[in-house]
Amino acid sequence: MRALRDRRMRVFLAGTEFFRSYGGIQYINRLLVRAFCEMGGRTPLDLEVFSYIDGPEHFPARMAGGTPVRWHGAERHQGKLAWQLSKRLAAIQPDLVLFTHVSLVPMLEAVRRLAPGARVALLAHGTEVWQPSEGRVARFFQRVDSFVSPSSFTGQ
């Protein structure tokens, strides 16, 4: 951990949607961006945000806190999101990749291959992780380093 304290922490936040519309998941994703921006005012931090649904124009010009944010909006193009994330993984080698929805967990393979030192976390909202519908998604869960959940029930 000493090496991490001697340089800026590099965080990638990958989600389905942040700013294009309003809903529970979008609200949580916006809170995460705001929290990382505020944390960056006290801790050296570089933040990159990858959104599957939002476009480049959806990110607000100013966010609270002291962290500049590099924004990647894929406008509902899976290939574009995968390309953006892969390109930046190889270039930046983030310390943490936080997926904010289980539907993005298949991108875990790219993280493990292109940024093998990155810790991977998954934000588990509720029913989508209680009973994952695809066997391959359940297998990906075993390769995630940490889970973040809104309640102890979902966490279990």
pLDDT in tens, 104-156: 888 989 999 999 999 999 987 766 665 655 565 566 667 789 887 776 776 66
Angle, vertex CA 88, rays to CA 147 and CA 92, nearest 5: 85
Asked if 50 and 72 count as a contact pair (C-beta separation under 8 A), the reply is: yes
**Which residues does 60 contact at the CB level (< 8 Å), separation at least 6?**
19
138 φ, ψ to 5°? -60, -35
pLDDT-derived band at 1, boundaries 50, 70, 90: very low
pLDDT in tens, 44-72: 889 999 999 999 888 886 665 667 789 99
User: Strands (DSSP E) along the chain, which ranges?
Assistant: 9-15, 45-51, 69-73, 96-99, 119-123, 146-148
Q: What is the rounded distance in angstroms from the CA atom of residue 104 to the CA atom of residue 72?
A: 15
What domains are defined for the chain? 2-155 (3.40.50.2000)
Q: What is the rounded distance in angstroms from the CA atom of residue 12 to the CA atom of residue 93?
A: 10
Q: What is the rounded distance in angstroms from the CA atom of residue 28 to the CA atom of residue 44?
A: 23
Q: What is the rounded distance in angstroms from the CA atom of residue 127 to the CA atom of residue 101?
A: 11
